[in-house]
Structure 1
Amino acid sequence: MKNMKATTLWLAVATLVGAASLAHAQEIKGDAKAGEKKNAMCIGCHNIVGYQASFPVIYKVPKISGQNGKYIAAALEAYRKGDRKHPSMRGVAGSLTDQDIADLAAFYEANGKEASAAAVPAAAPEAPAAVKDKLAACVACHGANFNNTTDPANPRLAGQYADYIQVALRSYQTEGNHIFGRANATMGAMAKPLKEDEIKQIASYIADLPGELKTVPHGKFR
């Protein structure tokens, strides 16, 4: 009886703590101006047009200006927890507080949006027949045009660098590697059946789509 009462009390406390943590997370609001002052570790890669990373292969680092803030925050949290395995990003994310992440996410979501709003969108290309069905399965999360997502926790993909998309898809296929890979059940289920040529076709198509993602050069690199 005592053990049952102790277990019940422990569960009640755990529930309250979990609820409090969730409430705390929901209360954190990002400040774009504060984020602009905290991005010193980001600008050397994400604010240089065409900058290339060299791990696990040479590829362009992703465009994150104009990206959904909620997705940026989720990605940084995944790197911080180790669900996304990348040594450099794990080191950066591990140094950030919850408020830092919220501020950086708000900054990069807003960065360069005025220029995007003024741009005239181009016509979307026809999807390759060989991967048309696979691309159709992606729209449930990433939106019909891969730019307006159904949930801001999902990333915009239209116009993203093709070589980065390839690396991202391969990372969802990877298991058991302590320095490369991403743990996400949904994306793992989507990516693992893909063949290499299908990954390349999907990445190339998405990269050619008109979208709001961009790299905004930092003042130091203009």
Structure 2
Amino acid sequence: MKRNTLSGLVAAGLVGALMVPGVNAAGDPEAGRTKFYTCEGCHGVAGYTNVYPTYHVPSIGGQHADYVVSALKAYRSGQRKHGSMIGNAATMSDRDIEDIAAYVSRFRSINVNLPVSGNAAVGQGKAESCGGCHGEDGNTTDPNFPRLAGQHESYLIKALQDYKSGARKNPIMNGIAEGLSDEDIKNISAYYASQKKGLTVVED
């Protein structure tokens, strides 16, 4: 699909993406900009969705470089499961991964106004136990944990459902998600998707 067509889907939703100084991990962001071509077909298109099951491809612009590195290495090893992600990461060297991570970490959103279906106000209360790792508003400064602010609601719902079912493995997240109802998951996801100055599409 053409980028111009898809960008219109969220033209009013993601506003003012900036490249800002950020954590470069051990990578070269300029080299990462070139290597990102294998990722931009999904992560460089605003509003792009996974085919099946249908959910928004996660926004990774502004994500901590160290977290992106760990995620890509997990896909490369097969520890994290997603067909196209495993396929893309399989041929990446450690240097490729570090360069791409350094590049995407430089993007941040000035403002985000994503549509949500859950109750963000209720979700804020339910998300209190998440703040220790992800930050009160999902904008954690700890590079060991992912930023959640401005992430697509549908992606967060899918991630939490997978943690709850055990399809996605993380001892902390599996334990937390186990105690969440479907309504809790929806509302928490709405809360983080509604937060400002968060993640954005990677689009120059």
TM-score, normalised to structure 2, is: 0.78
Question: 1:163-220, CA deviations, whole angstroms, 9 ceiling, x for partnerless residues?
Answer: 0100111121233xxxxx32111111111221111111111111111123111335xx
Runs (4 or more) in structure 1 with deviation over 6 Å come to none
TM-score, normalised to structure 1, is: 0.72
Distance 1:86 1:49, change over 3 A: same
Residues in 1 aligned to 2:165 and 2:77: alpha-carbon distance in whole angstroms: 17
Gaps in structure 2 of 5+ consecutive residues:
1-24, 114-118
Is 1:50 equivalent to 2:43 in the alignment? no
Q: Residue type matched to 2:50 in 1?
A: A
Q: Is the 8 A contact 1:141 1:150 kept in 2?
A: no
Is 1:160 equivalent to 2:156 in the alignment? no
Aligned residues between the structures: 175
Residues in 2 aligned to 1:204 and 1:31: alpha-carbon distance in whole angstroms: 34
**Alignment correspondent of 2:74:** 78
**Alignment correspondent of 2:34:** 37
Distance 1:132 1:158, change over 3 A: closer
Residues in 1 aligned to 2:112 and 2:88: alpha-carbon distance in whole angstroms: 34
Deviation at 1:120, TM superposition (A): 7.0
Which has the larger share of helix? Answer: 1
Relative contact order, higher structure (CA 8 A, sep 6+):
2
Gaps in structure 1 of 5+ consecutive residues:
1-27, 176-180
Q: Is the 8 A contact 1:31 1:102 kept in 2?
A: yes
Residues in 2 aligned to 1:53 and 1:121: alpha-carbon distance in whole angstroms: 21
Q: Is the 8 A contact 1:52 1:59 kept in 2?
A: yes
Q: CA RMSD in A?
A: 2.1
Q: Which has the larger radius of gyration?
A: 1
Q: Is the 8 A contact 2:104 2:202 kept in 1?
A: no
Residues in 1 aligned to 2:193 and 2:76: alpha-carbon distance in whole angstroms: 27
Q: Is the 8 A contact 2:137 2:192 kept in 1?
A: no
